[in-house]
Amino acid sequence: MFGYIVRRLFVMIPTLLAISAISFFIIQLPPGDFLTTLINEQLSRGEGADMGNIERLRQLYGLDRPLIEQYFIWLGNALRGDFGYSFEYELPVTTVVGDRMFLTVVLTFATTLFIWIVAFPIGIYAATHQYSAGDYALTFIGFLGFAVPKFLLGLVLMYLFNVWFGTDIGGLMDRQYIDQPMSWAKFVSVLEHLLTPVIVIGTAGTAAMIRRLRANLLDELQKQYYITALAKGLPRRRALLKYPLRSALNPFIADIGSILPDLISGATIVSVVLNLQTTGPLLLSALQSQDMFLAGSFLLWLALLTVIGVLISDLLLAMLDPRIRLGGGAVK
């Protein structure tokens, strides 16, 4: 087990390097750089661009150096925990991102919880009552949730909540609580504002999870061990919960792997539409304005969290399901 983890960790290093290099160069692919954006903005305002000042900024940010050099400088600093400067915010990258991390964590876990709580019972019901009216109805709703574009659902819900309950459009809390210390009133406000994004982001995930759970469970329910257990007189509920359900849980565990990267990029479009103060919109705008250290750091963390997340879910699966063996192929 320990050797396996160490090996996996070593494989991560070249993967991460490759990802960081590719993402860094892709960010630079569009013509121009952040300063071009700045110049365009000044020109579109009818202000002459102060080219002397722009040239100075280009030197300060190191944008006048070759791309390769920029990459290695950035990578070297990143290894020491210095992720560089955000041009757009004129602040260190860590300050810009750190501010939004907490709400992103809250949102991601609330959404995951929502998915599990809703998908779990519905999936079991749909599998055990296959082709019943209830199954059809839930399947229909599930597909609907899967098919409706999230941003559209977001806009509609946001509008309805505004009309029905007077919730503000957008944001994760009432404005007066922004930058205020946590209090009961602020907590309630956050809960109220979380409702829309959690439902919107969770809907598609829930629908997918229901389908997977139902399919997995249906497979198990036809297997001989389950039929034998029933034939020997084990109560239906107990038989179901004890054996087939446990085997059908794998998709839930495997999903943990994708939660970590979601912390960074999670539901970007929905967050933009709903104006959530999470990291997703920050990443998008950084990519758009070629704020490259901010965008590059984001993508690096995204890659890191993805590989770690996959590792964690692999390990968890191995722990929970004895049928899965780590590095099985190698042992034989």
Partner 1 sequence: MMLGRRLAGGLAGRFARPAVFVAALMMVWGGNATAQTYGEAPMLAERVAAGTLPPVEERLPENPATIDPLSAGTYGGQIEWLAGRARDIRIMNVYGYARLVGYDAELNLVADILESYEVEGGRIFTFHLRPGLRWSDGEPFTTEAFRYEWFDVQQNEDLRPYGPDFRLLVEGELPEVEIIDDYTVRYSWSQPNPRLIPALAGARPLYLYAPGHYLQQYHQAYADPDTLQAAVESAEVQDWTVLHLRRGNLYSATNPELPVLQPWVNTTAPPSERFQFVRNPFYHRVDNEGRQLPYIDTVYVNISDSSLIAAQTGTGGSDLQARHIRIDDYAFLAQGAETNDYYIDLWDTVLGSEIALYPNLTAADPVWRELMRDVRFRRALSMAVYRDEINEIIYFGLGRISNNTVVPSSPFWTEELATEWTQYDIDRANDLLDEIGLTEYEDGVRLLPDGRPLEIVVETAGERGQEVDALQLIADSWSRIGVALFINNSQRDVFRNRIFSGETNMSVWFGLDNGLITPSTVPTELAPVDQNWLQYPAWGQYWQAAAGAGEAPDLPWAEELVDLYSEWLVTYDEDRKIEIVSRMLEIHADQVTSIGLIQSIPQPIVVANRLHNVPVEAVYSWDPGAHFGRYRTDTFWVDE
Candidate residues 3, 14, 47, 222; the one interacting with partner 1 per rule CB under 8 A: 47
What distance in Å separates the CA atoms of residue 8 and residue 12, rounded to the nearest whole number? 6
Whichever of 255 and 291 has its CB closer to partner 1, that residue is 291
Whichever of 7 and 65 has its CB closer to partner 1, that residue is 65
Site for partner 1 in 53-92 (CB under 8 A): 53, 55-56, 60, 82, 85, 88-92
Whichever of 78 and 217 has its CB closer to partner 1, that residue is 78
Candidate residues 28, 36, 139, 258; the one interacting with partner 1 per rule CB under 8 A: 36
Establish if 312 lies at the interface with partner 1 (CB under 8 A).
no
Establish if 251 lies at the interface with partner 1 (CB under 8 A).
no
Candidate residues 3, 10, 14, 46; the one interacting with partner 1 per rule CB under 8 A: 46
Establish if 281 lies at the interface with partner 1 (CB under 8 A).
yes
Residue partners of 311: CB distance under 8 A and separation at least 6: 5, 8, 9, 12, 257
∠116-121-127 over CA atoms, to 5°?
A: 120
What distance in Å separates the CA atoms of residue 247 and residue 323, rounded to the nearest whole number? 10
Q: Is the dihedral of CA 205, 207, 211, 217 positive or negative?
A: positive
Candidate residues 80, 147, 164, 179; the one interacting with partner 1 per rule CB under 8 A: 179
The torsion defined by the Cα of 217, 223, 229 and 232, in degrees rounded to 10, comes to 140
For residue 64, how many C-alpha atoms fall within 13 Å in the half-sphere facing its CB? 7
Whichever of 140 and 159 has its CB closer to partner 1, that residue is 159
Candidate residues 78, 96, 209, 213; the one interacting with partner 1 per rule CB under 8 A: 96
Establish if 298 lies at the interface with partner 1 (CB under 8 A).
no
Establish if 52 lies at the interface with partner 1 (CB under 8 A).
yes
Establish if 50 lies at the interface with partner 1 (CB under 8 A).
yes
Whichever of 175 and 237 has its CB closer to partner 1, that residue is 175
Establish if 192 lies at the interface with partner 1 (CB under 8 A).
no
Max CA separation in the chain (angstroms):
87
CB neighbours (10 Å) of residue 185?
Answer: 13
Whichever of 178 and 188 has its CB closer to partner 1, that residue is 178
Q: How many residues of this chain bind partner 1 (CB under 8 A)?
A: 46
DSSP single-letter state for residue 63:
T
Scanning the chain, the segments in alpha helix (DSSP H) are 2-28, 34-44, 51-60, 67-79, 93-128, 133-147, 150-165, 184-221, 224-231, 236-242, 244-248, 250-265, 268-274, 279-288, 292-320, 328-331
Binding site for partner 1 (CB under 8 A): 30-32, 36, 40, 43-48, 50-53, 55-56, 60, 82, 85, 88-92, 95-96, 99, 155, 158-159, 162, 168-171, 175, 178-179, 272-275, 277, 281, 285
